[in-house]
Chain A
C-alpha cells in the first residue's frame, strides 16, 4: 500500500539547496509508485526554517529538506556534518552515520536519512579586493557556526539580517560576508562583491530528515526503498564538485577576484576553523563529542 509523505523544505524553491531535494523527491515519486510518494508542501513561507526540527519531532511534517544547523537547538552534535572532512560513504562505513543518527533519534525523535549536499565549502566574500589581505578588524557578516572561528582571525563579526546585507555592503557598514561557494548568485549580492578568499572552509550540509514517528509507521519495503533512493543520490554527490567549480568560474567572470592565502597561512586558517568549530559541539556533549570528532575527522 502506497503512503504519501508530507515534506517541507528549509530552502526557497529553485535555489541551489532546494534542487538536490527536488531531484530526490522526483525520483521517489517516479520509482515509488505503489510504495511511497512525497508531497512537498512548501518552503520557508510555510514553516520557519528554525522550527523544522520541532515540526519533525512532533510529527507536524513527515520529512524535511533541511540542515542540522537549523535544528542545532535540539541536536547541536549535528554541526559535526558541517565540520567533517569525510565523505558520506566513509561516514557510513566507519559508523559515524549510525552514531549521529542515533543521537538524532534519541535527543529529538528525528531520523537522519542521509546527506544531500557535500563538497560545497563556505568562503569569505569581500566588497573590495585589498592589496594585502588582513583579517584583523574586517567587518564580516557571519552566523553562529563560524562566529568563534572568525573571532579567532581577528574579524569583527556582524550579524546583519539578509535583507540588509546588500545595503550594508554598498555603504561599507560591512566589508563582506561568508557564504557557500554556490548560491551567491541566488541572492544578488554578487553586484556588491569584488573578492573571494580561498581556501574555503567547512562544507555545507543539507539532508533528508524524517520524523521518527513517521519512520516507525513505514513498512520494511517502504524503508528499504527510501534508503536505497537516498544511497543512490549520496553516491552521486561528486556531481556537486563541477557545479561549485562552475559557480566559482562564473564569479570570476562577474568580477569576483580570488584572493588565495599563502600555503602556510591557508593551513593555519583551516586548522583554526576546525578547532574553533568543534568547541561548541564538544561543550554540548562531553560524552559523545570526542568520539564524534574522532569519527568525523580524517
Chain B
C-alpha cells in the first residue's frame, strides 16, 4: 500500500474514534486493530497486538511517572502544597500573575531534577494548576505554564530523551545535554515574560486580593520560612540522592515520594483520608497516562511496520538538498509526526535516516540534534495527540480539551520562536557544547 494511503486510513479511523468521545487509549487500540489486521496479518496480527500492548508499559523508564505524581498528590491532599503556595503568594504579592510565574520558575527548576516531561507536568498540574483554577486564574495561566515547562524537562539535563537521541544518533550525549541548557532557559524566560505581560495587561486573568490589605513584613516572610523552606528538604532528598550517586534519576523519584510522605508526617498533616485520596488520585492520573502510552506505543509500532513512516521519510530525500531546506524539511516532518506519534518512536524512526543525510550535507550534528529535540518536545504539546495535553486533562478533569489546547497555544508559539532563533543563530546552541570539545 502507498504510504500516504495507509497514513490517511489509519489517521481517519483514529480521528473518527477520537471524535466519538471514546477514551483516547481505546481509540488508539481500535485503530491498532485495523492496522494490525491489515499489516501484521489477520488474527495473528491481532494476537501480536495484544502481546505488544501487554509489554508496552513494563519499562523502568516509565516508573518516575507514578512516583512524581504520588509526591505531588501527597503534598496536595495533605495541605502542604496549599500552605506553601499561599506563602509564596503572600511573599510575591506585588508581582502580576504570581502563581503562574511560580509555576514557570518551579517547573524549570524541577526540569533540572527530572528527565521526564510527563512526570514534570503531572506534578505541577496536580498541585499548582489545580490551585490556580481554584483561585480564579484563567485557564491559560493555570494550565499553560505547567504543560510548557514540562517540555523544558527534555532540554535541561538530566533528560532521558536527549540521552536516547545521543545513543541512537552517535551525537555526543554530553554536548547534547550541555547544549540544551541555553534553549531551555531561553524558553523559560520567554514563558515568564509572557505570563507577566498577561498579568499586567489582563488583570482579570490573575486575581489579586492584596488590593484590600497590605501584609506586614512578618506576615509575609514568616509563612514562607515555616511552610516553604522545609519543603526544600524534599528537593534535597531528590537532588542529593542523584548528585551523590546514591540513586539513579528514577530511584530519586521514589526517594522524593517517600520524602513527601515523611514531610506530611512531620507537619502533622497525615490522615487516613488524605492518604487514601492521594493514592486514589495517583492511581487515576498515572493510569490515564500509562494506558494511553500502552495504546500509542503500539500504534507507532504498527505505523512503522506498515511502512507508512518510512514512506513519509522519503519526502526528505525528495527535496533539493541544500543544508537549510534539508534541515527545514526534517524539522517539518518531525513536527507532523509529533501530532500523532510518541516521542521515543519518532526518534527511532527518523534518526537512522536523518543523521547520515545531515552528515553528508555537512550540517553540525549537535546543532541539528538540539533542534530535533525542540521539535520533538513540541510534539508533546501539539494537538490532536500531545501527551502533555492528555496529562493535563487527566489532572484537571473538569476543563474541556479545547480549553487545554488553547492554553498551550501561546507557549507553543514561544517555543517555535526559540526554534527560529536556534535555526538562524546557530551559535546560540553550539557555543556551550563547543567549550567541551
The answer to A–B direct touch (Cβ < 8 A) is yes
- In the bound complex, residues from chain A placing their C-beta under 8 Å from that of B56 are 48
A31-53 contacts to B, CB under 8 A, are: 41-48, 50-51
Q: Is B300 an interface residue (CB 8 A)?
A: yes
Task: Output the least CB separation between B342 and chain A (Å).
Answer: 11
Q: Is A173 an interface residue (CB 8 A)?
A: yes
Nearest residue (CB) in B for A213 is: B44
Set of chain A residues within 8 Å of B247, measured between Cβ atoms: 173
Answer whether residue A94 sits at the interface, using C-beta atoms and an 8 A cutoff: no
Render A137-173 as a binary contact track against B, CB cut-off 8 A, 1 for contact.
0000000000000000000000111111011100111
A135 located at the interface, meaning its Cβ lies under 8 Å from any Cβ of chain B in the complex = no
In the complex, B315 has a CB within 8 A of chain A: no
Known: A51-B51, A59-B44, A173-B247. A164 touches B160 (CB 8 A): yes
CA distance in complex: A277, B51 (Å): 28
Q: A30 to nearest B CB, angstroms?
A: 21
**Which residue of the partner chain, among A54, A55, A167, A191, contacts B248 with CB atoms under 8 Å?**
A167
**Is A284 interfacial (CB-CB < 8 Å)?**
no
The B contact surface, by secondary structure, is helix
- Docked complex Cα distance between A168 and B244 (Å): 10
Interface: A255 (CB within 8 A): no
A132 contacts B by Cβ under 8 Å: no
> Is B249 located at the chain interface by the 8 A CB criterion?
yes
- The reply to whether B45 and A168 form a contact with Cβ atoms under 8 Å apart is no
B61 within 8 A of A: yes
B60 to chain A: closest residue by CB: A161
Is the CB–CB distance between A46 and B304 below 8 Å? yes
Write out the residue numbers on chain A whose beta carbons fall within 8 Å of the beta carbon of B248.
160, 164, 167-168, 171, 173
Q: Which residue of A lies closest to B56 (CB)?
A: A48
Question: How many angstroms from the CA of A163 to the CA of B248 in the assembled complex?
Answer: 11
CB closest chain-A residue, reference B54: A51
A12 near B243: Cβ-Cβ < 8 Å: no
Residues of A in contact with B, size category? 35 or more
Confirm or deny: B307 has a beta carbon within 8 angstroms of a beta carbon on chain A. yes
Given the contacts A173-B248, A191-B172, A42 and B52 also touching, CB distance less than 8 Å: no
Point out the residues of chain A lying under 8 angstroms from B245, CB to CB: 171-173
Q: Is the CB of A164 within 8 A of B250?
A: yes
Most B Cβ at <10 Å: residue of A48, A163, A191: A163
Task: Give B211 Cβ to nearest chain A Cβ, in Å.
Answer: 47
Q: How far is the CA of A189 from the CA of B168 in the complex (A)?
A: 11
State whether B40 touches A60 (Cβ < 8 A): yes
Q: Decide: A187 near B167, CB < 8 A? Known: A44-B348, A161-B61, A173-B247.
A: yes
In the complex, A164→B301 CA distance in Å? 23
A186 close to chain B: CB less than 8 A: yes
Distance, CA A51 to CA B248, complexed state (A): 28
Q: Which of A13, A54, A187 meets B352, CB within 8 Å? A: A13
Known pairs A188-B167, A191-B174; A45 contacts B345 (CB<8 A): yes
Complex interface bits, B303-320 against A, C-beta within 8 A gives 1, otherwise 0: 011010110000000000
Q: Given the complex, which residues of A lie within 8 Å of B345, measured CB to CB? A: 45
Selected contact of B170 from candidates A41, A163, A185, CB within 8 Å: A185
Query: At the interface, yes or no: B323 with Cβ under 8 Å from chain A?
Result: no
A58 at the interface (CB under 8 A from B): yes
Q: Say yes or no: B304 contacts A167, CB within 8 Å.
A: no
Contacts A60-B44, A187-B167 hold; do A12 and B348 have CB atoms under 8 A apart?
yes
Contacts of B158 in A (CB 8 A): 167
Q: Does B420 contact A (CB under 8 A)?
A: no
User: In the complex, are the beta carbons of A163 and B173 less than 8 A apart?
Assistant: no
A51/B48 in contact, CB under 8 A: yes
Minimum distance in angstroms from A15 CB to a CB of chain B: 9
- Contact indicator B307/A41 (Cβ below 8 Å): yes
Q: Shortest beta-carbon distance, B337 to chain A, in Å?
A: 12
Given the contacts A12-B352, A58-B44, A186-B170, A48 and B300 also touching, CB distance less than 8 Å: no
> How many Å lie between the Cα of A172 and that of B246 in the bound state?
8
- Docked-complex contact A54 and B51, CB < 8 angstroms: yes
Q: How far is the CB of A183 from chain B (nearest CB, A)?
A: 11
Q: Which residue of B lies closest to A165 (CB)?
A: B163
Binary CB contact string for chain B from 330 to 358 against chain A (1 if under 8 A, 0 otherwise) = 00000000000000010011011001100
Of the candidates A51, A164, A188, the one whose C-beta lies within 8 Å of that of B55 is: A51
Q: Does A167 lie within 8 Å of B170, measured CB to CB? A: no
Inter-chain contact B305/A164, CB cutoff 8 Å: no
Q: When A51-B52, A58-B48, A60-B45 are in contact, do A188 and B166 touch as well, CB less than 8 Å? A: yes
Contacts A43-B348, A58-B47, A188-B166 given; indicate if A171 touches B41 (C-beta within 8 A): no
Bound together, the chains give a CA A58 to CA B244 distance in angstroms of: 48
Q: Which chain B residues (152-188) contact chain A, with CB distance < 8 Å?
A: 158, 160, 163-164, 166-168, 170-174
* B160 CB contacts on chain A under 8 angstroms: 163-164
A162 surroundings in chain B (CB, below 8 A): 164, 167
Query: What is the CA–CA distance of A139 and B21 in the complex, to the nearest angstrom?
Result: 49
Identify the B interface with A (CB < 8 A): 40-41, 44-45, 47-48, 51-52, 55-56, 59-61, 115, 158, 160, 163-164, 166-168, 170-174, 242-251, 300-301, 304-305, 307, 309-310, 345, 348-349, 351-352, 355-356
Q: List 10 A-B contacts (CB under 8 A).
A: A43-B352, A45-B300, A161-B59, A164-B163, A166-B167, A166-B173, A173-B251, A186-B167, A188-B170, A191-B173
Known contacts A48-B301, A51-B55, A191-B174; 15 additional CB pairs below 8 A are A14-B356, A45-B300, A45-B348, A46-B304, A47-B301, A50-B55, A58-B48, A60-B48, A163-B164, A164-B160, A167-B158, A167-B248, A168-B248, A172-B245, A191-B172
Closest 5 CB pairs of A and B: A172-B245, A45-B348, A46-B304, A13-B352, A46-B305
